[in-house]
Amino acid sequence: MSNLNFDVIGKDTGSKARIGVLSLPHGKVDTPMFMPVGTNATVKGIYHDKIKEIGYNLILANTYHLYLRPGLDVLSSFGGAHAFSSWDGNILTDSGGFQVFSLSGLRKINKEGVTFQSHIDGSRHIFTPEKVVDIESVIGSDIAMCLDVCTPPRIDYKAAKEAMEMTHSWARRSIEERNRLEGEGAFRGNLFGIVQGNFYEDLRKESAEVISSMDFPGIAIGGLSVGEEKSEFSHFLAHTAEYIDSTKPRYVMGIGSPDYILEAVENGIDLFDCVLQTRMARNGAAFTDDGYMVMKKAKYKDDHSPIVEGCRCTCCTKYSRAYVHHLVKCNEMLGGMLLTEHNLTYMYDLMERIKKAIAEDRFTSFKKDYLDRFLRGKCSPDRRQEC
């Protein structure tokens, strides 16, 4: 039985953007929402208490990584990842499929599952749809993604169709295992299905309709933002979302740039995640409405102003651009920590601005005005060579 309830409480008349409330075992999440990535049961460079203080109540962890380290025995001894990591909010776990399939020569796929070698010590393991659900039940995932077949862009039609059909078969097996565990009281989360189909319109439509028809309380769109052009991403996102059950929360995996997120929101997507915010912070870059600020640049050496005037994060309320520049140039870990808090605060507050625009029925104009400014910035995604 699903522990999820999703209520759409507002819509934008000029687009498919919507606001909602997602009720999960560890509390409510207002959507649309960006989710910080905490691969190893930790969001890099920031305390869980600070993440909660910013406002987040849903973060990601990764099944593949937690299965290998610390391992299921350790997680089980703590009663799951929540107690192990002292995080009392919700956890969404990626199935580990993307990580396994990125191992290339270290894995083999067949109808039963995926055999792979650990990137840590070379030991051999197998992930089946059933085993992944079993692992996620030990982790205590509030949202658990089922195992799917990830494919790179521009594979041929036959390979894309075979991967999609295997994803559908694995989805059915995942549901059966979830039902078995629920009967034993061992699974208390919510299993989400994943749409595939590569970059073929008919396969995307078929996969969206098949996954929507299954007993999943939520649905993710996989296989996007994997190296395709932005125009291709936009087209297939809109095309796929059109055929997904609109009564369920919808999740696009692996997007974090504001322009991609706004595109997703415009198409009625409720959840998204990415490592971009924390990774860029560790590399000395800050999110702003004017694009990305690269703090190692000499022009910030004597700058007394905060990264963003009015931002509520520790970085902006206590420190100057000059000090952050100094930390980044000296490779001091505090620089990455401060920028991590800033970037996650910026993203949370941006989502609040987006929700407000939807509630006031002005999302389309908000998106245009925001992107006109963001993409004009010298360090916008389209002009990274200037950063």
| Helix/strand/coil (H/E/C) assignment for every residue in the chain | CCCCEEEEEEECCCCCCEEEEEEECCEEEEECEEEEECCCCCCCCCCHHHHHHHCCCEEEEEHHHHHHCCCHHHHHHHCCHHHHHCCCCEEEEECCHHHHHCCHHHEEECCCCEEEECCCCCCEEEECHHHHHHHHHHHCCCEEECCCCCCCCCCCHHHHHHHHHHHHHHHHHHHHHHHHHHHCCCCCCEEEEEECCCCCHHHHHHHHHHHHHCCCCEEEECCCCCCCCHHHHHHHHHHHHCCCCCCCCEEECCCCCHHHHHHHHHCCCCEEEECHHHHHHHCCEEEECCEEEECCCHHHCCCCCCCCCCCCCHHHHHCCHHHHHHHHHCCCHHHHHHHHHHHHHHHHHHHHHHHHHHHCCCHHHHHHHHHHHHCCCCECHHHHHHC
From the list 30, 245, 273, 372, the catalytic residue is 273
273 is catalytic: yes
- Residue 274's φ and ψ, nearest 5 degrees, are -170, 155
- ∠ CA 87-93-97, nearest 5°, is 150
94 is catalytic: yes
From the list 12, 94, 134, 259, the catalytic residue is 94
The β-bridge relationship of strands 18-24 and 5-11 is antiparallel
Q: Are 88 and 136 in contact (CB under 8 A)?
A: no
Q: Are 366 and 68 in contact (CB under 8 A)?
A: no
Cβ neighbors of 79 (< 8 A, separation 6 or more) are: 140
Catalytic annotation, residues = 94, 273
